[in-house]
Amino acid sequence: MILVFGSINADLFVNVNNLPQPGETVLCPTYTFRPGGKGANQAAIAARLGAEVKFIGAVGNDVFGKPVLAALGKAGVGIDDVKVVGETTGTAFVLVEESGENQIVVASGANLETVSHQVKDEDLTDETVLVLQMEVPIKQIEQVIFRASEIGSKIILNYAPAARIERAALELCDVLILNKLEADALSGEEKKPEDHVKEFAETYNCECVVTLGKNGSVLANSSGLYSIAALQITPVDTVGAGDVFVGAFAVSLLNGSDSLKALHRATIAGGLACTVEGAQPNSITSSLIDEKINLVDVPKKLGKTEVDT
């Protein structure tokens, strides 16, 4: 089973010709509501790819709470342990320009009420793949990681958005996934992606992936350093592509694949997510990933010369 501990949001999308600059007002004709939240997005894609998935989080007792939960249930995600609190449901304000690039502001709302003890002891086993992000209280994330590690669950942390977290928690993660900006924040300095993944893999004794959008991803583990190109697509909406990547990666690990095979499939899934609107696309399936898998070469091991150039 995949257990996702994380955020669930109502996403309010506005499509604009160009993203606004500081002090600039940009007009658009309307907005669109869609379900979102990093945790919910990752849970939804994992379920659609065939995994048994349970989601742990919180929504508000407001107009958005029921529809965002209903979307997860429709995707096949177990939502019995999501709690309803007297707060507003987490809400993301998403601006998307014609190129597919975006700006996002998130009002956390009920996500701040998500707590570790919502996770039942029986749901943490040595066969559980635990997936976490950084949109719920960090102390609660740390507590779930500590509990899961004692049991032997596989732990995937999507370090997004970047925030301070105990090193002890990071050292218990099996896989750390983050983008270049988040990697700079965790490191405390700007570096090449290859240097980041090597640093984090060694420092935290984990497998590490830094995603690079249209430039693919790099991965480091005890076997070496690897890179993979992105799926070549014309982007429509990049919102949620990273979450689809994480969810697909988790499903591959649950199904017994190694991290390189997981990286390959996650790369395809993340690319496909950019070709449709919304952060919880229902068009991405395991069969579609299989169909597109040969469009991206398998991860390539990098030698010293390639890394240093």
Residue from 11, 174, 237, 243 carrying the catalytic annotation: 243
Number of helical (H) and strand (E) elements in the chain, helices listed first = 10, 15
Q: How far is CA 217 from the centre of its chain?
A: 14
**Using the 8-state DSSP alphabet, how is residue 149 labeled?**
H
- Tell me which residue of 210, 263, 270 sits closest to 237, measured CA to CA: 270
E strands in the chain: 2-5, 9-16, 32-36, 53-56, 58-60, 83-85, 90-97, 102-107, 129-132, 154-158, 175-179, 207-211, 217-221, 224-228, 300-301
**3-state secondary structure (DSSP) of residue 294:** helix
- Amino acid symbol at 99: S
Q: What angle do CA 272, 37, 26 make, to 5 degrees?
A: 80
Phi, psi of 78 (to 5 degrees): -75, 125
Burial classification of residue 228, based on how many CB atoms lie within 10 Å of its CB (0-12 exposed, 13-18 middle, 19 or more buried): buried
**3-state secondary structure (DSSP) of residue 281:** coil
CA distances to 37, 42, 276 from 283, rounded to whole Å, are 18, 14, 8
258 is catalytic: no
Q: Distance between CA atoms of 133 and 161, rounded to whole angstroms?
A: 8
**3-state secondary structure (DSSP) of residue 296:** coil
Locate 11 and state its tokens.
């996403």
Active-site residue set: 243
